[in-house]
């Protein structure tokens, strides 16, 4: 084989290998976004399953405080609906309503010493609070994964491979400013 053929072969193989490397990195990023979203879904499902238990425990002590209990269950359903539709803006709004509902429920529970002393209530409150924190952590990981994917598919030369193989950007899981603010529990009970 002459040197021209070797140079030509290298000129063909190196760009092809580089293209394969870029493609594999893009596939990895795409699947990281999917995995991050799946982690959020697992936590949302766990929280979804815990909320009826919390409401049942509260019903035993707070029979006439139906508003707080019903608000939590309505918000729970909105979260599930948005999650099922993969509606990220709707999920953000539903998550905010659930956070407000849980804040109201826990605030109302303060008026019931027997409820606050109940082991089931304390366990469920701690479990749901832990799940809330885990969802926030996973949301951050999801948004980081989305950002990495979206930046890579816009950078040169990755944009060429991304366009050729139809890699698409993902949407961040964002919340509006009012949804990010702490819940003013005093305002809720005026």
pLDDT tens for 123-143 read: 888 888 898 889 889 989 999
User: Tokens standing for 166?
Assistant: 């139809």
Tell me, what's the pLDDT at 174? 74
Q: What is the crossing angle of helices 66-85 and 3-61, to 10°? A: 160
Backbone dihedral angles phi then psi of residue 150, each to the nearest 5 degrees: -65, -35
Going by C-alpha positions, the residue among 105, 96, 72, 107 that lies closest to residue 182 is 96
Using pLDDT thresholds of 50, 70 and 90, give the confidence band for residue 165: very high
From residue 185, give the alpha-carbon distance in Å to each of 28, 75, 108, 116.
Answer: 43, 17, 10, 18
- For the cut 50, the answer to whether the pLDDT of residue 101 exceeds it is yes
Q: Is 155 helix (H, G, I), strand (E, B) or coil?
A: coil
- The residue count for the chain: 190
Tell me, what's the pLDDT at 188? 39
User: Tokens standing for 98?
Assistant: 């659930």
Tell me, what's the pLDDT at 84? 87
pLDDT > 70 in the chain, percent: 89
Going by C-alpha positions, the residue among 40, 15, 45 that lies closest to residue 161 is 15
Q: Are 40 and 173 in contact (CB under 8 A)?
A: yes
Q: Are 173 and 143 in contact (CB under 8 A)?
A: yes
Across the chain, mean pLDDT equals 84
Give the mean pLDDT of 7-33. 93
pLDDT tens for 31-67 read: 999 999 999 889 888 988 888 888 888 877 776 567 7
Tokens 């009970």 locate to: 189
Give the mean pLDDT of 76-81. 90
DSSP assignments along 136-183, one per residue = HHHHHHHHHHHHHHHHHTTSTTHHHHHHHTT----------HHHHSPP
As a whole number of angstroms, the distance between CA 48 and CA 70 comes to 14
Cis preceding-peptide flag for 157 (omega within 30 of 0): yes
Domains of the chain: 3-188 (1.20.1440.20)
Q: What is the dihedral of CA 99, 101, 104, 105, to 10 degrees?
A: -110
pLDDT > 90 in the chain, percent: 32
Specify the pTM: 0.72
Tell me, what's the pLDDT at 87? 84
């Amino acid at each position: 084989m002459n040197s021209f053929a070797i140079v030509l072969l290298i000129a063909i193989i190196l760009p092809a290998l580089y293209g394969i490397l870029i493609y594999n990195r893009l596939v990895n990023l795409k699947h990281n976004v999917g995995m991050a979203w799946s982690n959020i879904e697992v936590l949302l499902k766990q929280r979804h399953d815990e909320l009826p238990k919390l409401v049942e425990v509260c019903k035993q002590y707070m029979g006439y405080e139906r508003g707080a209990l019903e608000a939590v269950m309505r918000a729970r359903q909105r979260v599930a609906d948005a999650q099922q539709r993969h509606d990220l803006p709707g999920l953000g709004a539903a998550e905010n309503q659930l956070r407000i509902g849980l804040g109201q429920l826990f605030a109302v529970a303060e008026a019931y010493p027997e409820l606050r002393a109940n082991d089931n209530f304390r366990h469920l409150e701690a479990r749901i609070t832990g799940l809330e924190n885990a969802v926030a952590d996973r949301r951050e990981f999801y948004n980081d994964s989305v950002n990495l994917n979206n930046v890579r598919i816009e950078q040169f030369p990755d944009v060429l491979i991304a366009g050729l193989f139809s890699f698409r950007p993902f949407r961040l899981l964002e919340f509006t400013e009012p949804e990010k603010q702490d819940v003013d529990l005093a305002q809720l009970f005026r």
